[in-house]
Chains A and B, each alone.
Chain A
Amino acid sequence: MLFPTVDFAIFFVLVFVGHWLLNHLERPWKWFMIAASYVFYGWWNWRFVPLLIGVSAMAQLGAIAVSRARSPRLRLVVNGIAVALLLVPLAFFKYYGFLAVNVTNSFIALGMGYSLPLLQVVLPVGISFFTFMAISYVVDVYRGDFEVAGWTDTFLYLAFFPHLVAGPIVRPGELIPQIRERRDERHVDVAGASWLILGGLFKKVVVSSFLAAAIVDPVFGDPAVSSGPDALFAILGYAIVIYADFSGYTDIAIGVARLLGFRFPLNFDRPYAATSIQDFWRRWHMTLSRWLRDYLYIPLGGNRRGTRRTYINVMVTMVLGGLWHGAAWTFVFWGAYHGALLAVHQWRVRRGDVRDPDSGVAVLRRSAATFGLVCVGWVFFRADSMETAFVLLGRLVTGWATPTEFVTPMVVFTVAGMLALQYWPKSLGLWVQSGLSRLRPAPMGIVLSIALLAIVTLGPTGVAPFIYFQF
């Protein structure tokens, strides 16, 4: 089930009622929320619900086994086995097709008649997110950061529907205590939640859809004939598209959780206002960044094993982070590119070359440079091949004699507006939320409806989820 659909609206109203009615009954509430989360997940494809149950059971058994292992060495081994087992489904669903094709073609090249079964494995929605959370749980138990939770707590922690599809990646220490506590039904932050949900919808339905259709898809689809300005704004536009799409979805997730009395960590914090590449990764997909840091970079040794090893660890972490996005050289390059940028940044910091910007102009200059570097990376992230990426980057140099086809005033306005909003004062949003919170329920409902109407009106014509297929 996707958030911006009628199906979800009806589902959520029903779950909202059940959630608050059962709030004071611990066990029935937990079973109700687990069942609701499985309905949410199974709505897309019920065949994958057993997978979610299986990963949850594996995480719980792994955590129990780790906690019962007596010697440190045995704990380490059990932890390793549990993490490896949790990674098996993710590896299969994500990389089997890539592996099967390459192995089969290797056999063909060697003149051998063997072939792995050529299955087109459908990636279950959210598998990365609940796998990462399951690993967090087992490793946190191994490290002694978290006690083994009850079965229902673990199952609900992994399946809780607001974070299930696209995060944020919530740690057990952040969510399980909230599952155990009774939520305060007298104090629901409806204004803050509405602001998050409407803002997320605006970003996803209006901004992301518009820029993707208006310039990004056409130019990335055939970069060889694009003009320099088209290439430039397609790259800038994609930076906005991926930000609006992803942060919009997680904003909705955080808002939905807030209506149920839960607090999720932030996932994006004005990433394009970052003044260095390290700062960017502290602001972009924050819950994944810290997951990679805590469960990959630090176990590799982090920065504790000398300068050279630190750079290697950064590179390994970022390349694996890139590969996680998909089995393609473009993602590997994207990860390696960011790894190299981070390594260079750390090297410059060690040399004392990086100082805090001392003026607003310096901040803007550093932000612009960082944004430019990030945009180059996005080209490889979005392109369907390395060739496409290099062709598009080449058009930035060679395409200025070609007539511009896709850069319109609205494209320029949207890109510029979204970048300007990276510097939007936080107080403005809080002021709007404060005003909204003072309305009585019925007027607030009407205001929210009008805001939804505005979003649909501003969105591209025929946004499918609302009319043609998604009913």
Chain B
Amino acid sequence: MSASETTQIHQPRERGARFGRRLMPAGRVLVVLLVTLLVWTLLYAPSMKRAADASPLGIRRTVSLAVLTPFAALSEWTGIGELAGAIERATGKEAGSQGGPFVPPPEDIPLAPRTPDEEGPGTGQNGGPGGNGNGGTNGNPDGGPNGGDGGATAEADSIRAPTPRQKLRVVIVGDSLAAGLGFFAERVFRPRLVVVSGQGRISTGLARPDYFNWPFTMHRIVDRFDPDLVIVMLGENDHQSLQTVQGHRDAPIGTSSWPTAYRERVEGMMRIATSQGAKVVWAGLPVSANRDLREHSLRQNAIFERAAESVDGVTYFDAWDRFRAPKGGYTAYVREAGRVILIRAADGLHFNAVGYTILAREIAKRASEEFGLSPRTFETAI
């Protein structure tokens, strides 16, 4: 449909006679606008109030809450807000006001292979006892708790060596940075030896499980995909108060309880990711062009790093240090193979295609150093 195409340029003084369209005085149009805005606000006031409640402290949040609180009360009292919630539930969405996440967990998580070929003993080039292709020095001697399908165990220090028939499973989770990383990780990891599943979800984080529940989703990914390596990159959207799954406030932003509660969430996510033996590379936040974000991002990175030290099977990748300017601030460029390359997107936060490719390669190198990920599994040049 193209609305602009079905309407001729209209002369206001013709009173719409040509197409039988009645024109209206501006005062009445204002009534139309106000009624539309009022009904719309009543429909969505509860969810908008929750969003405002979780937004960063400041004048905008204060004004938003002052305006929305009475509307949300009126919406709930009249039951109008329930209408929007009911429609969204009927179409498979949750509005969040009923205690569930706004964005349901993904349904497209691939299943780990369970074919006899892939599970059978000694089928891989490096196959040893347990049949998980672990004959190399990086292998897992036990075959893991997943029916010997190549999964590593929690006790193993290294990621198993893959074969074309027993490919490694790598999953990338997190926010929009992870979504971009997921796309380009598929170019860095060699498809002959690695299956990559990009599970990044934009506008998500650990602060708002009522919007998107990452711990639940991580459980599902571990159960279905049984990854060997989990790459996590999130946190850019977590500069806000922490909410519970039910949408209640847990730890307000700017208070002393926030870092403790946030670290608990980070460690919880790490434990879920490593629960069936996967190794985790947790990528910290890169320096952004927005100076206002930097201080909080650095605090988050410190939390990620300390949490990674406290959970077995997790290592921290310092994206801040890797992509900062020589003198410390933000830069959109790196020197790579004797050339200057633009690596950041115009928003000063995300990476461009080359940047994501370099990031994926650096993370793979980190996994190689820490967990013995075979260098055969990824490209070392961009």
Contacts and interface: CB of A to CB of B under 8 A. Distances in A.
B103 interface: yes
B172 interface: no
B1 A6 contact: no
B32 interface: yes
Contacts of B12: 183-184, 187-189, 261, 263
B102 interface: yes
A328 to B, nearest CB: 11
Contacts of B348: 120, 122
B32 A190 contact: yes
Interface residues of A, number: 91
A450 to B, nearest CB: 8
A437 B10 CA distance: 14
Interface stretch (A57-65, A69-77, A80-88, A265-273): A265-273
B212 interface: yes
A189 B3 contact: no
Interface string A165-199: 00000000000000000011111111110111111
A464 B203 contact: yes
B69 interface: no
A187 B36 contact: no
A101 B6 contact: no
B36 A448 contact: yes
Contacts of B19: 430, 433-434
Interface stretch (B123-131, B265-273, B333-341): B333-341
A161 B331 CA distance: 33
Contacts of A434: 19-22
Contact of A192 (B10, B332, B352): B10
A104 interface: yes
B381 interface: no
Nearest to B104: A461
Interface string B1-14: 11111110111110
A217 B200 CA distance: 13
Interface string A452-464: 1100011001101
A48 B137 CA distance: 58
A221 B200 CA distance: 14
Residue of A118, A192, A197 with most partner-chain B CB within 10 A: A192
A361 B332 CA distance: 53
A408 B52 CA distance: 36
Interface string B175-204: 000000001101100010000000000110
| Main secondary structure on A side of the interface with B | helix
Contact of A184 (B3, B13, B20, B184): B13
A357 interface: no
A180 to B, nearest CB: 15
B7 A430 contact: yes
Given A6-B48, A259-B29, A457-B87, A445 B34 contact: yes
Contacts of B203: 462, 464, 468-469
Contact of B51 (A224, A445, A446, A468): A468
Interface in B311-356: 331-333, 338-342, 344, 346, 348, 352-353
Contacts of A46: none
Interface string A418-432: 100110101011100
A118 B20 contact: no
Interface stretch (B37-45, B151-159, B250-258, B275-283): B37-45
A390 B39 CA distance: 50
B212 A445 contact: no
Counting contact residues on chain B (CB < 8 A from A), the size range is 35 or more
Given A445-B31, A445-B34, A187 B23 contact: yes
Residue of B13, B15, B19, B348 with most partner-chain A CB within 10 A: B19
Interface string B102-137: 111000000000000000000000000000000000
A108 B339 contact: yes
Given A20-B26, A190-B24, A449-B36, A222 B187 contact: yes
Contacts of B9: 263, 265-266
Given A118-B340, A457-B87, A13 B37 contact: yes
A108 B289 contact: no
Contacts of B331: 118, 120
B333 A433 contact: no
Nearest to A273: B5
Contacts of A418: 1
Given A266-B4, A433-B7, A118 B29 contact: no
A199 B2 contact: yes
A66 B31 CA distance: 47
Contact of A101 (B28, B37, B43, B341): B341
A97 interface: yes
Q: Which 3 A-B pairs have the closest CB atoms?
A: A445-B35, A199-B3, A429-B6
Interface of B: 1-7, 9-13, 15-16, 19-40, 43-44, 47-48, 51-52, 55, 64, 84, 87-88, 91-93, 102-104, 183-184, 186-187, 191, 202-203, 208, 211-212, 237, 289, 331-333, 338-342, 344, 346, 348, 352-353
5 contacts: A199-B3, A446-B35, A446-B39, A453-B87, A468-B51
